Homo-oligomer: A and B are copies of this chain.
């Protein structure tokens, strides 16, 4: 049910001809209230697509009536003309829904550096509006897919209220530039301020810790809409908990569907001095091509893990290299910075999921970052996408 699982939402996904395949490519999610509170987080890339520039402004007042999303084109690096295209799209949706354009958020995903075919997109918005339905969440989730092999949706039920969500992309999934889009909905009654706090906290520990290939998109957007239709007033803590649970499911689904990948790798750093230190070390390992290629080869090459950890500046993550332990799938292959258990005891071929634990012996903080292995198929897909 995705974004239409909570009360107060309708959605649709239609084929507007933006994708040459004829697949669904325009999605619309409408919040029918009674409340229309909203929050969003965006890519921190300094090269920001037109829809990101637009939506950041539009959501600043904490109100959004609808989100229109398209696959088949990112509308990034398209200059002021591209921005006008986004503006026109929002205005067209606003006309159809009889709301203000400033309450319509826009998300796009696909190749960058190309204008959107506005005639098709506009006709697609018409069709999506006509198709809006209380069970339209599934179609909407399909319409935002690019190279995703399955739509990603989630429903988190709480006592009398619900969080629903959909997502596409991430890292290897989206060779066009790794765009990740997600729309979350809830029928909780919550302030925009609480939505913002909950979303920021949720993203920080979920989507921000999926690092499939270290590349940051121009279009990444996560939106959270609250209708209040359940009549339940929900506090910030409860809200954060449910939104985090929903984001965690979607983030894990993105890693699991990374095309070209043969392993999902969870790198957990334990006993770090603080959470930032744990994240920094985990991220350094998840960004090491040598480590990721070794995982592809089913090689428990702990030296590459240690070496990647060693690139993190001491002021970011204090630890002593000769105290670090590394455990891969339960086998402590590195102990105190040197050789531990026999590495041949580690079987990476048996399953897709790989668990790496790095014990820094420098404190008590923990963090996990997910990534994928570096494979022939990753190289193939990312070298062949736009040509």
A interface residues, Cβ below 8 angstroms from B: 45-48, 76-79, 82, 111-114, 175, 177-178, 213-218, 287-290, 293-294, 296-299, 301-304, 306-312, 314, 321-322, 334, 336-339, 374-376, 378-380, 382-387
Whether B310 contacts A46 by the Cβ 8 Å rule is yes
B383 touches A307 (CB 8 A): no
Instruction: Give the one of A288, A297, A382 with max B CB within 10 A.
Output: A382
A47-B309, A78-B339, A214-B289 known, 14 other contacts, Cβ within 8 Å: A46-B312, A47-B306, A48-B310, A76-B307, A112-B307, A177-B304, A177-B307, A215-B304, A216-B310, A218-B306, A218-B310, A289-B289, A298-B387, A378-B379
Separation in Å of the A220 CB from the closest CB of chain B? 11
Contact present for B383 and A293 (CB under 8 Å): yes
Q: How far is the CA of A273 from the CA of B213 in the complex (A)?
A: 29
Report yes or no: B339 in contact with A113, Cβ–Cβ below 8 A: yes
Chain B residues within 8 Å of A215, by CB:
288-290, 304, 307-308
Chain B nearest Cβ from A181, distance in angstroms: 16
Closest 5 CB pairs of A and B: A297-B383, A47-B310, A293-B382, A112-B303, A46-B310
| The one of B290, B308, B379 that contacts A296, using a Cβ cutoff of 8 Å | B379
Q: Are B299 and A386 in contact, CB atoms less than 8 angstroms apart? A: yes
Which B residue's beta carbon lies closest to that of A175?
Answer: B290
> How many Å from the CB of A285 to the closest CB on chain B?
11
On whether the beta carbons of A113 and B334 are closer than 8 Å, the reply is yes
When distances are taken between beta carbons in the complex, the residues of chain B under 8 Å from A214 are 287-289
Residue of B nearest to A305 (CB): B47
Chain B residues near A175 (CB-CB < 8 A)? 290, 293
A294 in contact with B338 (CB, 8 Å): no
Please measure, in the bound complex, the distance between the C-alpha atom of A111 and the C-alpha atom of B294, giving whole angstroms.
13
What's the least CB distance linking A195 to chain B, in Å? 27
Give the distance to chain B from A73, nearest Cβ to Cβ, in Å: 12
| Contact flag A294-B386 (CB < 8 Å), given A303-B77, A310-B45 | yes
